[in-house]
Amino acid sequence: MQIGDLSRQSGVNIETIRYYERIGVLPKPARQSNGRRTYGSVDADRLGFIRHARDLGFDLKSIQVLLALQEQTEASCDDASRIAQGQLEAVESRIARLIKLREELRRMVSECGRGRVAECRVIEALVIPAKGPSSTVYSTFR
C-alpha cells in the first residue's frame, strides 16, 4: 500500500508517518521504481502499535523502547512494566491536578453574584490568583 492508504487505514497523518520514519520509530519503507513509498501489513501493525501507545500518552522514546522489547519475545517484561507504571503515575498526577482545577473553577463560578463586572468574582479571581490550590493548579497548566 502507499502512504496515503496507510494514513487512511491507521488514522495517522502522512506527515506524522514521514516523521516517524525520520526518527526511526517506523522503519524506512521500500520504494517503487518511481520513488513512491510502499508499505505492508507489518508496517500497518507497527503504526497501529505506535498510535495506540501515543493515545495512551506514551512519549516516543518510551515507544521506541517498547517496540524494541516487542521484538525480544523471550526477554523479561520488567522494562515494559516499568514504562507503563511511569505512564500510569503521570496520568494519575494529571488527573489530580485536573480535579483541583475543576474545584477551583466551580468555586469561582459559585461565588459569582452575576452582577456587574466591577464586582465579578470570576474576573477578580483571574486578576489576583488566590494563594493555595488555584495558584498551584494554574502553574501546572501554563
Q: So what's the pLDDT on residue 142?
A: 45
Contacts of 1 (CB under 8 A, 6+ apart): 9, 38, 39, 40, 44
Distance CA(6)–CA(39), nearest Å, equals: 7
Domain ranges of the chain: 3-70, 84-141
Q: So what's the pLDDT on residue 129?
A: 61
Burial code (b: 16+ CB inside 10 Å, e: under 16) for 100-137 equals bbeebeeebeeeeeeeeeeebbeeebeeeeeeeebeeb
Q: So what's the pLDDT on residue 111?
A: 82
pTM of whole model > 0.75?
A: no
Q: What is the pLDDT along the chain (142 residues), one digit of tens a residue?
A: 999 999 999 999 999 999 999 999 999 999 999 999 999 999 999 999 999 999 999 999 999 999 999 999 898 999 999 999 999 999 999 999 999 999 988 988 888 877 777 778 788 777 766 555 555 555 544 4
- 3-70, what's its fold? Multidrug-efflux Transporter Regulator; Chain: A; Domain 2 (1.10.1660)
Q: So what's the pLDDT on residue 114?
A: 78
Q: So what's the pLDDT on residue 130?
A: 55
Dihedral angle over CA of 107, 110, 115, 120, nearest 10: 0
